[in-house]
Amino acid sequence: MAVSTPRSAAAFLERRESEHALHFVKYQGLGNDFIMVDNRDSAVPKVTPEEAAKLCDRNFGVGADGVIFVMPGVNGADYTMRIFNSDGSEPEMCGNGVRCFARFIAELENLQGTHSFKIHTGAGLIIPEIQNDGKVKVDMGQPILSGPNVPTKLPSTKNKAVVQADLVVDGSIWQVTCVSMGNPHCVTFGTKDLKDLHVDDLKLSDIGPNFEHHEMFPARTNTEFVQVLSRSHLKMRVWERGAGETLACGTGACAVVVAAVLEGRAERKCVVDLPGGPLEIEWREDDNHVYMTGPAEAVFYGSAIH
């Protein structure tokens, strides 16, 4: 892989010097990092899932939590976003990724200032808006309450349904609430014995895979381990489906606030601390949508042989 530093993404991506080189821009949102590929000329991703897994390898490839493709819009959307996880699997959505996506489009299209885009994703229409301060606020749509197998639309924000379930993992009974943000999340604030988690003490590499591959989740799951600091301040670590422990998960932070509200632990507007930094999350009562605000930035331009 060769790395170079031209003046802009557009200038860089126009230099197609080798048909075997994949030109990309590496982005990160709170340390959740992605190889962004300009795929606006085709509805077929420029790399296969197997190639994506190789590119994401931190020793033998570029290194990233996923590969994201900017593709032509469908159904009235401006663009389509597709993503491969670092294991090559394809999730429906990615919260940190969609913030990076918005900033990448602005770079490609040479747009300055505030802009919003309609993005078609596997989780439906997602609307990120680049703000004056450079952060991106994303309308993440409505959460879906999902039993492990059958996702159920939340009937209304007034819903006070008991959503907790017991999940036995490695002999411990974890109390979980499953929320879908288009992709599946299993949120836990503790076990039956250990009500208040200290998330820094958890060995995620041991327990994370056992949630991800639990028989209750036939499509696997992302899992969020949450500590309540106050009713408007939560701290979480995440074990991501198809990527392992990451520094941040945007859809995960949204799912955490929804679960915390449904369990009566937090208000609808929270700061969620992740290992990579904070996200502002609001689950609005008037439209039942979840809004996420956070940073996204370009890290470097590169070409990879594939």
The residues carrying an active-site annotation are 94, 249
Q: Which of 296, 280, 295, 285 is nearest to 142 (CA)?
A: 285
**What are phi and psi for residue 56, nearest 5 degrees?**
-75, -15
User: Is the CB of 13 or the CB of 81 nearer to ligand LBFN2T5F?
Assistant: 81
Residue whose tokens read 């996506």: 101
Secondary structure of residue 4 in the 3-state scheme: strand
By the rule CB under 6 A, 243 interacts with ligand LBFN2T5F: yes
Residues 138-177 close enough to bind ligand LBFN2T5F by CB under 6 A: none
Taking residues 184 to 223 in sequence order and writing x for each that binds ligand LBFN2T5F by CB under 6 A, - otherwise, the string is: --------------------------------------x-
Distance CA 271, CA 216 (A): 30
Distance (Å, whole) CA 48 – CA 51? 5
SS3 label, residue 115: strand
Closest distance of CB 281 from ligand LBFN2T5F, Å:
12
d(CA 232, CA 127): 24
Shorter beta-carbon distance to ligand LBFN2T5F: residue 13 or 140: 140
**Residue 183 interacts with ligand LBFN2T5F (CB under 6 A): yes or no:** yes
96 touches ligand LBFN2T5F by CB under 6 A? yes
Closest-CA residue to 74 (of 40, 25, 108): 40
Contact between 34 and 97 under an 8 Å Cβ cutoff? The reply is yes
Residues 251-270 that bind ligand LBFN2T5F (CB under 6 A): 251-252
Could you say which of 32, 142, 223, 303 contacts ligand LBFN2T5F (CB under 6 A)? Answer: 32
Which residues contact ligand LBFN2T5F by CB under 6 A? 32, 85, 91, 94-97, 183, 222, 240-243, 246, 249-252
